[in-house]
Amino acid sequence: MNEALYRQLINLAVIGCGAITEINHIRALRKVPFLRIASLCDVDIKRAEYIKRRHGLYSAETVTDYREILRNRNINAVLIATPPPLHSKMVIESARANKHVFCEKPLAMTSEEAYDVAANIHKGIKFMIGFNRRFVPVYAKVKEMISEGLIGSILCVKILDQGNIRSWPSVSKFHYSSEEGGGVLFEIGCHFIDLARWLVGEVAAVSAKIFSKKFRNVDDTAKVDLTFKSGCKAEIFVSFSASSLRSEMNVRGQKGEIGVRSGDLFLSIKDKCIFKRGPLVLGLNRSSEDSYQREFLHFGRSILEGLEPSPNIVDAIENMKIISAANESSRLGKEIYL
């Protein structure tokens, strides 16, 4: 590692000071030594000033218009954490202003918008989309184990994730409106669609049922079935109107299975249990780094070293294509081929 390179500071502006910024982003960013929070932007200046005071960001400026940030030559990168309908426009304008971009998911509201964004990200810009599950240590370990061939070729992936969105202290409340980019598929499903694609490969077809059990203006439950080009299948069930928290994943291969339940990882080969005492047994990183810190470290290193971030614009577009196909499949009641 070039130590001199990592002594450089990247001046970063945070655009959008909602709950995700307050609870996760700022705390994680402050643990990355080469990322400096230089500006906080929100349409509600009191909200930006509150975040500044709460986190002791005394040198950061606060503004209400993100275009002030884009005109500021001292800003090197932006974190876009606004409601989804604003993402594509802000990413395009940031790239045109020669700012590196970390954008929270989803990239856009439609696949067409996503392609428009991609057309505006030129070679010198590092773009990263916030598919945070890739940086959760237990899922990273699953990826490593699959890559090492421990369970052979993947045959099937099953993912279940449920909780209650009402426990999240949303500021803008966009989660509860389809028009504002809310709903379980955009909010939760996109993460696990990306996770399945990251673990297995490219998707060939999508079948889905998307509906609402408890919410009036937005989907709160979705079952998405993916068929991959390899022939592997994935079943993904997500809900954010459930009464209890539950998160599970099972990856079945020709030689065995990997399971994740409540953050613990289990490996069995030919029906013989090898590990079932949790992630620590498998040598997972139990350092103080959480998934947000890990992804911001990756983003910053990509800028300093001139590397392509992962997940990148291609991953963001493929995710949008799958979500669009899932919505179409649910509406038409048939499988959609990509």
CA-based angle 232:238:240, to the nearest 5?
170
Q: What is the pLDDT of residue 285?
A: 41
CATH number of the 134-286+319-337 domain: 3.30.360.10
User: Which part of the chain is CATH 3.30.360.10?
Assistant: 134-286+319-337
Q: What is the pLDDT of residue 169?
A: 86
Beta strand spans in the chain (E): 10-15, 35-41, 61-63, 77-80, 100-103, 127-129, 154-164, 203-211, 221-228, 233-239, 241-253, 256-261, 264-269, 272-275, 336-337
pLDDT digits (tens, 9 = 90+) for 11-39: 999 999 999 999 999 999 999 999 999 99
Q: What is the β-pairing status of strands 127-129 and 100-103?
A: parallel
User: Which part of the chain is CATH 3.40.50.720?
Assistant: 5-130+294-309
Question: Hey, is 177 helix, strand or coil?
Answer: coil
In CATH, 5-130+294-309 is 3.40.50.720 = yes
Q: Residue ranges of the chain with pLDDT lower than 50?
A: 276-288
Q: What is the pLDDT of residue 1?
A: 54
